[in-house]
Structure 1
């Protein structure tokens, strides 16, 4: 695809070579994300960060990514702090705020809302999550993490990947986008573990199969964890349910701890989660006793979000070739524990 000036709304936009290009640019960003170098390539540019649903990692990492490229961030969080609460349409909001920004990131609880907003925007819009629909930058950082974790094990090819996705697969937009992304690769084995009521939408299951992938569906976790490379856990998306009581019916159904990992997983199985993991006792989908497991990649996964989002900004604003030209060494203490 042509990245310069484009909206990033869906995984549907990408071909395999686009993904490889994004990952190459993300690799370029490592010294800047690690604070070894500073670049001011986006000096004077403004990001409009518009988040109408609760967010920590996505909102802060998009802002951090833009700051690390030298740009400034203006934020709107929640409907109550925006003119939408006064009845303003997405069209009017887009027309106005795109006049104040050079690029916009938007999260909204309604599926398709970010695309509606982007249609009226005068600047590129990046989808930070639209309801239960998609979360394209999360899928990109997930796959980037998978690639890096497998490279650490001496594997350089995502073809032939074996992955299990666990939890709320009906409402989990992260796994929806990741499934679409996996369709660009070959011979992937996908195990889908969920209660029947929270199963992956059938159209995505069929899409995986049409791509030539093996798809196995189960409501039992333990026996399904054997012979996988990636264990991708998700929380119950309680905000998508009619009430908390309904969500509580499924909370805590699948809990991975070190004992289960040792008994059922291969020794190098990578554990991932889009975060936040629900650590309340009634949920606890990834137990704290996994924190010392070297294959727990959830925090490396979160770090990688900054790299991928830096890459998207640099590509959409067409400054990839200028990043290093506007760089210098940092002048503060930068030792970090990675």
Structure 2
């Protein structure tokens, strides 16, 4: 695919060489993400961050990634703070805000809305999540995390064994991740969910068409016995018609240290797109896993900076200039912890 000047709306346009190239650039961003070096390659550039749905990690991660490349961020959060609350169309909003920005990241609760916005935008648009559809940058950072976690064990992504657990119907992160996995070979995927929250049939078929082995199950313990990755998701209560309906499924699949020790292989990696639901009625990933060295959820968030920095550099076509606009820093080590 052509990165420079392109929208990043879906996993669809990505081929395996595109993903591998993106990950190579992400590796190069590490000293900047860790503040060992500073670059001003995007000095003067403006990111328009438009988040019409609650977000912490994605919004701050995108903003931090842009800042770390030397750019500035202008944010809109929530419909009530935007002209859309006054009846403005996505078309008009896109035409206006793309005049103020060099690139835009958008999250919206309605499927297809980001693509509609991008069609009217005069600058590249990155999808920060649109309804139950896709979350492409989350999938990319998830796959980058899988790559790094397995590399430490002398493994690659091909022949990965992964269990995806929880709300697979409404969880857009797993939808995008499945589409990315179709670019690789001989993947074993176990989809663990209640019947009512199963992965959409079209995505299951796409995995099978790619030659992957797919098993659907409602049994957590037996499904996580022989996998490299357990990827847990919360119940997406905001997608349900009522709180009562969401409560029917909350807490159905809980992974804690006891279950992990009894049923997982010793080096099974635990992932989650966050936020994990820490309420007593939920706890899909229990707090007693916090000291488990295979809990990768915070390494995922760190990796999100690298991947999003790489995407900005590629889409704005400044990859070759990052180092030439850089300098070393000496304040980094004093107060920062690993």
- The interval holding the TM-score normalised by the smaller chain is over 0.9
Match of 2:165 in 1: 166
List aligned pairs for 1:20-35, cutoff 5 A: 20-35=20-35
- Cα drift, residue 152 of structure 1: 1.4
Give the aligned CA root-mean-square deviation in angstroms: 0.6
Match of 1:36 in 2: 36
1:222 equivalent in alignment to 2:197: no
Rounded Cα–Cα distance in structure 1 between residues aligned with 2:313 and 2:242: 41
Q: Alignment partner of 1:11: what SS?
A: coil
1:122 equivalent in alignment to 2:122: yes
Rounded Cα–Cα distance in structure 1 between residues aligned with 2:207 and 2:330: 49
Rounded Cα–Cα distance in structure 2 between residues aligned with 1:91 and 1:231: 40
Rounded Cα–Cα distance in structure 1 between residues aligned with 2:9 and 2:329: 34
Match of 2:11 in 1: 11
Rounded Cα–Cα distance in structure 1 between residues aligned with 2:25 and 2:15: 16
Q: Alignment partner of 2:106: what SS?
A: strand
Match of 2:264 in 1: 265
Match of 1:302 in 2: 301
Q: Which digits, 9 at most, give the CA deviation of each residue in 1:58-94, with x for residues without a partner?
A: 0000000000000000000000000000000000000
Aligned residues: 337
TM-score (norm. length: structure 2): 0.99
Rounded Cα–Cα distance in structure 1 between residues aligned with 2:166 and 2:20: 29
Is there any run of 5+ residues in structure 1 with no aligned partner, and where? none
Match of 1:195 in 2: 194
Rounded Cα–Cα distance in structure 1 between residues aligned with 2:20 and 2:292: 29
- Cα drift, residue 331 of structure 1: 4.1
1:278 equivalent in alignment to 2:277: yes
- Cα drift, residue 276 of structure 1: 0.2
Is there any run of 5+ residues in structure 2 with no aligned partner, and where? none
Q: Alignment partner of 1:74: what SS?
A: strand
Q: Alignment partner of 1:334: what SS?
A: helix
Q: Which digits, 9 at most, give the CA deviation of each residue in 1:205-263, with x for residues without a partner?
A: 00000000000000110111111000000000000001111000000000000000010
- Cα drift, residue 306 of structure 1: 0.4
Match of 1:232 in 2: 231
TM-score (norm. length: structure 1): 0.99
Q: Which digits, 9 at most, give the CA deviation of each residue in 1:175-215, with x for residues without a partner?
A: 00000000000000000000000000000000000000000
Rounded Cα–Cα distance in structure 2 between residues aligned with 1:139 and 1:334: 31
Q: Alignment partner of 2:320: what SS?
A: helix
Match of 2:185 in 1: 186
- Cα drift, residue 330 of structure 1: 1.5
1:253 equivalent in alignment to 2:252: yes
Residues 36 and 330, structure 2, Cα contact 8 Å, conserved in 1: no
Match of 2:146 in 1: 146
Rounded Cα–Cα distance in structure 2 between residues aligned with 1:217 and 1:187: 17
- Cα drift, residue 334 of structure 1: 3.0
Q: Alignment partner of 1:163: what SS?
A: strand
Rounded Cα–Cα distance in structure 2 between residues aligned with 1:144 and 1:333: 25
Match of 1:93 in 2: 93
Q: Alignment partner of 2:162: what SS?
A: strand
Rounded Cα–Cα distance in structure 1 between residues aligned with 2:153 and 2:193: 28
Q: Alignment partner of 2:18: what SS?
A: helix
Q: Alignment partner of 2:94: what SS?
A: helix
